């Protein structure tokens, strides 16, 4: 089963959905979860294995895993 996960800052991650490419109903639920959670301020990555990560902008049912992460926020460095 492929997974859609949401990285929670300081709190690990949350599995939002799992899907099987042979079961369209699970894909539809995962696509809906992606659309609901891929909001402004978040980035999405397709994880294909160690060192094989690619940014995506839409749900990809062929991905073994998708990770949604909050955008990195910079702060002013005061010296």
For 11, left (φ over 0), alpha (ψ -120 to 50), or beta? Answer: alpha
Domain ranges of the chain: 2-70
Q: Which fold has domain 2-70?
A: Ubiquitin-like (UB roll) (3.10.20)
Contact 52, 69 (CB under 8 A): no
Q: What is the pLDDT along the chain (79 residues), one digit of tens a residue?
A: 999 999 987 778 999 999 999 999 999 999 999 999 999 999 999 999 999 999 999 999 999 999 999 887 665 566 5
For the whole model, what pTM was predicted? Answer: 0.86
Nearby residues of 65 by Cβ (< 8 Å), 6 or more positions away: 2, 3, 4, 5, 46, 47
């Amino acid at each position: 089963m492929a997974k859609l996960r949401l990285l929670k800052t300081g709190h690990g991650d949350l599995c939002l959905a799992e899907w099987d490419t042979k079961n369209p109903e699970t894909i539809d639920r995962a696509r809906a979860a992606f659309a609901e959670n891929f909001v402004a301020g978040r980035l999405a990555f397709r994880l294909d294995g160690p060192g094989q990560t690619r940014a995506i902008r839409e749900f990809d049912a062929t991905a073994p895993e998708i990770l949604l992460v909050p955008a990195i926020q910079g702060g002013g460095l005061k010296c």
